[in-house]
Structure 1
Amino acid sequence: MPLPRWIGAAALATLTAFTLLAPPGETETRAGGTLTTGSAPSPALGGEAVAYTAYLPAGYDRGSARHPVLYLLHGRGDTMQAWTRVKTVLDDLIRTKRIPPVIAVMPDAPWSERGSWYADSRYTGSDLPGRKVETALAHDLVGHVDATYRTAPIREARLVGGYSMGGAGALRFALAHQDVFSAAAVLSPAVYTPLPPGDSSARDYGAFGEGAAKFSDDVYRELNYPALLPELDPDLPVRMFVAVGDDEYANPDPADARHDLDFESAALYNAARRSPAVSAQLRVLDGGHDWTVWTPAFEQAMAELGPGLSVTPPAGLPAPLHGTAATDWAGGVAAHADGSLTVGYAAGGPVAGQSHAGRLDAVITRTGANGWTRQLGTAADERLYGVAPLPDGGVLAAGYTKGDLDGRHPG
């Protein structure tokens, strides 16, 4: 965990009261799912293994079905044991069918004195030699899990989550590895823009270092989300749930207020939601930088993101697309007695050979044997927000114009 240093120690102290895990390779069964431990060989770490705890849903040992996988990253100073406290949350979510039965993998990250920030470090100092932690987890561990458990080796079946330093890691993994993960639960992320404050432990462990320097401004900017968002592939959409407490650590220097985690989380959300490749949500919960926030935040994140996880590869769209190669906005659909549909939307270009007036035009398309398209627009924006069928077979459409469609209602 990142801020301040005593937070990590306090969090570790709370863990000592929690149940101990079974020895490596053995399992521990409580009501609901099962916790087991294992290790994944990692070429990225020179053959060193990645230790992990795995949650297997109830009935896993008796079934044959494949399952989505959650990869849950712990905070700075913590261990893989930290995430085991959400076992009962997963049990309840699965039992009540709010999410499908999932496997949860909780890797241990001991490198750089448990301050790796889940990055491929370039720091070469002998005290904290950099390790390729990102590659080890996002590639080697994922491959091992797919080979060991009944998973689906597709991005649609994988979610990455984390809190604090782990939240920063989950954000990085989801954006830098769109081909691997389709969703991210980003809780109280220790991520800062444009650079961490001077007293942040993100500067101390070599995660963003280079050569003999433990921290490099250029490396941090290169790995941070503002550099990743413009490069995302819209054809590999990422669903993101960001949550933070309303009483998280406040930087003592007023000049660093911009780096308070509630502020940084809101900035992340507002940047991510503007990417065509990301659908993002933000929650601000009552509490601080601890499990009073992360436990309910994880439950809410899973309730939102979990139902969208799928072990079935996408098979294409069940119906034809409407729109243009530009940016279009759905507005509404009306069903008619003859089986046809009317689709209303805003289009950024010409549709069905009609003229494009400029910016966004309002478009109404009727499907079926006698289908037609009508495009209405001005040099400004037009948007449709709804269409409704009429008794005579016609349709009523409603929206707005920033132009003057009829010459009598400018703006």
Structure 2
Amino acid sequence: MSLVHIDVDSALLGEAVRVVVARPEAGSSAPVPWVWLLHGQGSTVADVTWVVEGLEAAMAASNLGAHTIAAPVGPWSGGAWWVDSAYRNGRPVESAVLSEVLPEVEKRVGGPAGRDQRIVAGYSMGGGSAVGWLLRHEGLFGGAALAAPAAFADAPPVRSSTESSGAFGVGDQEFDQGRWASLMSYRRSVAQRRPTAAPVRVGIVVGDAEVVEDYPSGRSSLTLEAAKLHVALVDAPGVTCSLRVIGAGHTWDFWIPALSLALELVGGQAAGTVD
């Protein structure tokens, strides 16, 4: 395995975007899929590098099949929710990563490209955003690997970072519910999915000790919300979804085994799944 940091100049963001990339050593003729990994709230370059190194170790130990991992990160990404913000001074993060960063990194690194060889993955905030990317960009991704995704059908938890980050703001308003729903409501995205949409595979892994929080509709946790997401995706046209609940909470020692398992679910290699 080899891990490198690649900096890609983004005209949309007006600065370089750092991408932490781990690529397996050559040695197999089988295609190695790309995994575009979206980090959670507040993660730094050091945090993201640690997660990618952990996935490297999982591959080296044969706990995870070969993948090329690419994880973008920047000083703007900690609460950006990986979307294009319409808030004053907001940034077009989603457009920058998908239209500028992704093609440049894949060109530099090489290897197979195309939706059938590309997975979007994410943990926590990044997991919720990965669902949106998968459903909005049918031509880019053939699967999604989600670890405790902050994905919600109709509204985020009360007093969450969605309301204070500006990611879903419009003009001078820091949070706009309609803007959030257009980008993050998986219920809306599933309802808009075409019956002839290209097939995708989704793997969801969540812990059984997630914090119970207040939601507009009542008390809930990411454990329950992940189950709701699974049910919604199973009913969506062309989606194959698997769910696993493991003994863990929303902690750093959860992300690497959870992401590894979610990626194996996408590849159909994990046993004992809920389908």
Which TM bucket (shorter chain)?
A: 0.7 to 0.9
Any unmatched runs of 5+ in structure 1? 1-32, 309-411
Shifted more, 203-212 versus 295-304: the winner is 295-304
Task: Say if 2:143 is the partner of 1:183.
Answer: yes
The counterpart of 2:172, out of the listed 212, 221, 224, is 212
**Deviations, residues 278-324 of structure 1 (Å, cap 9, x unaligned):** 1111111111111333222112122222479xxxxxxxxxxxxxxxx
* Post-superposition offset of 1:239: 0.7
In the TM superposition, what is the alpha-carbon distance from 1:144 to its structure 2 partner? 0.7
**Does structure 1 residue 231 correspond to structure 2 residue 209?**
no
Cα pair 1:66 1:150 within 8 Å, conserved: no
Residue 74 (structure 1) aligned to one of 29, 39, 43: 39
Contact 1:188-1:261 at 8 Å conserved across structures: yes
The 1:102/1:253 distance shift into structure 2, 3 A limit, reads closer
CA–CA distance in 2 between the matches of 1:237 and 1:141? Answer: 25
Q: CA deviation at 1:262?
A: 1.1
For residue 110 of structure 1, report the CA deviation from its aligned partner: 2.5
Partner-residue secondary structure (3-state), 1:222: helix
Q: Which deviations, in whole Å up to 9, do the C-alpha atoms of 1:332-384 show, x marking residues without a partner?
A: xxxxxxxxxxxxxxxxxxxxxxxxxxxxxxxxxxxxxxxxxxxxxxxxxxxxx
1:195-274 matched pairs, under 5 angstroms: 195-223=155-183, 224-233=185-194, 234-251=196-213, 256-258=218-220, 260-274=221-235
Question: Is the Cα–Cα contact under 8 Å of residues 182 and 238 in structure 1 kept in the other structure?
Answer: yes
Instruction: Answer with 1 or 2: which has the greater Rg.
Output: 1
**Separation (CA, whole Å) in 1 of partners of 2:268 and 2:245:** 22
The equivalent of 1:289 in structure 2 is 250
The range that moved more, 248-257 or 264-273, is 248-257
- Between the aligned partners of 2:166 and 2:260, the Cα distance in structure 1 is 33
Residue 65 of structure 1, CA deviation: 8.2
- Deviation of 1:72 after TM superposition, in Å, equals 0.8
- One-letter amino acid of the counterpart of residue 7, structure 2: S
Question: Residues 149 and 65 from structure 1, CA distance in 2 versus in 1: closer, same or farther, beyond 3 angstroms?
Answer: farther
Structure 1 residue ranges (4+ consecutive) displaced by more than 4 angstroms after TM superposition: 63-66, 252-255
**Paired residue for 1:121?**
85
Q: Which residue of 1 aligns with 2:23?
A: 56
| Partner SS, residue 219 of structure 2 | helix
- The letter of the residue matching 1:37 is H
**How much has 1:255 moved relative to structure 2?**
6.1
- Alignment partner, residue 87 of structure 1: 53
What SS does the aligned partner of 2:213 have?
coil
1:225 shift after superposition: 1.4
Partner of residue 272, structure 2: none
Provide structure 2 residue ranges, at least 5 long, that are not aligned to the other structure: 270-275
2:263 to 278, 282, 302: 302
* Contact 1:74/1:80, CA 8 A, preserved across alignment: no
Does the residue aligned with 2:218 lie in a helix, a strand or coil? helix
Percent of paired sites with the same residue:
33
Q: Structure 1 residues 78 and 96 mapped into 2: Cα distance closer, same or farther (>3 Å)?
A: closer
Closer, same or farther in 2 for the Cα pair 1:230/1:193, shift >3 Å?
A: closer
CA RMSD in angstroms comes to 2.5
Residue 212 of structure 1: how far off its partner (Å) = 0.5
TM superposition score normalised by structure 1: 0.60
Contact 2:63 2:260 in 1 (8 A): no
Equivalent residue number for residue 4 of structure 2: 36
Contact preservation (8 Å) 1:117, 1:165: yes
SS in 2 for 1:44: coil
TM normalised by structure 2 equals 0.87
Aligned residue pairs total 266
3-state DSSP of counterpart to 1:228: helix
Question: Per-residue deviation at 1:159?
Answer: 0.7
CA distance in 2 between partners of 1:164 and 1:88 (Å):
17
> Residues 197 and 253 from structure 1, CA distance in 2 versus in 1: closer, same or farther, beyond 3 angstroms?
closer
Relative to structure 1, the CA distance from residue 92 to residue 165 in structure 2 (aligned partners, 3 Å threshold; closer, same or farther) is closer
Give the deviation of 1:191 after TM superposition.
2.3
1:140 to 83, 100, 121: 100
